Amino acid sequence: MQQETGARVDRLAVAAATVTVVLWASAFVAIRSAGDDYSPGALALGRLLSGTVVLGALWLVRREGLPPKAAWPGIVTAGILWFGAYMVALNWGEQLVDAGTAALVVNIGPILIALLGGWLLKEGLPPRLLAGMAVSFAGAAVVGLSMSGEGRSSVGGVLLCLVAAVTYAAGVVSQKPALRHASALQFTTFACAIGTLACLPFSGQLVAQAADAPAGATLNMIYLGVFPTAIAFTTWGYALARTSAGKMGATTYAAPALVVFMSWLFLGEVPGLITLAGGLLCLAGVAVSRSTRRLRRVPVPPEPTAVPAESPSGLIDAHTRD
């Protein structure tokens, strides 16, 4: 019964992680669509405002109350770094570098999560996780290089994407211990609200740009707040509370493959064979890192038992029989 319950919880965690990765991948398409009309800070603030409204409504309906005191250090840290700094840096970085370079640099994040989780959270670094991360990172590199166009990218843009990767990793690692005390909805609601407060200096830009932006760009901004933020961050928290930070970070390596597919579907960008191969490598690495099947052990034959010495008459000595 305990094994069945554990397997059910693991399936629910995998399902929640899948929802997160799909919605986060869709965010790349929405950011590109809204980025022409909204500056990085204004887009981040609008996204966070939309997410906070939805999360706050869910929080009130469910009556979950305030998070316990022990959860607030992680909530504040993730709110400032992950919900605030990460979103501004990513929006800004994607305006300065091509999509392939951005995807490659940001995908350093899961490696940092595994390293920080193994060090700070004492999760260790299982060989299967390291192997899966290596395969997925190779796939992300193939996707990034194949989509890099002519390779013209600004140093500032690469640094901004690196900042996004670091703040993303720091946010996940600070979230894990907080989820021991707060629910996923509590954590996401208040972290998103703190991120909104951190982005308030961009409120003037948001108001001015919203007045001139087309309806499609504003709807994309609201979509970012409702789905990739409110829903995806909550399902992420649910899954993270039930597995290690390293495994969850490795799961996000599936995002580049999904971004390639969504870019083709919604933006008309047809991926090449090399890009598709890289996407398959990303998915294969995730499968390896999340696998729970134990490696088969080759049975070791038992050592032969020593045969008692016989007496000259061919009979076993009496003291040996005893």
Distance, CA of 17 to CA of 255 (rounded, Å):
11
From residue 122, how far is each of 119, 128, 133, 174, 182 by CA, in Å?
A: 5, 17, 18, 13, 20
Residue in the structure block whose two tokens are 């034959």: 301
Query: Could you list the pLDDT tens digit for every one of the 322 residues in the chain?
Result: 444 455 555 688 888 888 998 898 888 788 878 988 999 999 999 999 999 999 999 999 999 999 999 999 999 999 999 999 999 999 998 787 766 566 666 777 677 776 766 666 565 667 776 777 777 677 767 766 665 554 445 567 777 887 888 898 888 889 888 999 999 999 999 999 999 999 999 999 999 999 999 999 999 999 999 999 999 999 999 988 887 655 665 666 667 667 767 767 776 665 567 766 776 676 677 667 656 555 444 454 555 554 444 444 444 444 444 4
Q: Give the amino acid at 11.
A: R
Helices (H), 65-183: 72-78, 87-96, 99-106, 109-120, 127-146, 155-178
Residue in the structure block whose two tokens are 């409504």: 57
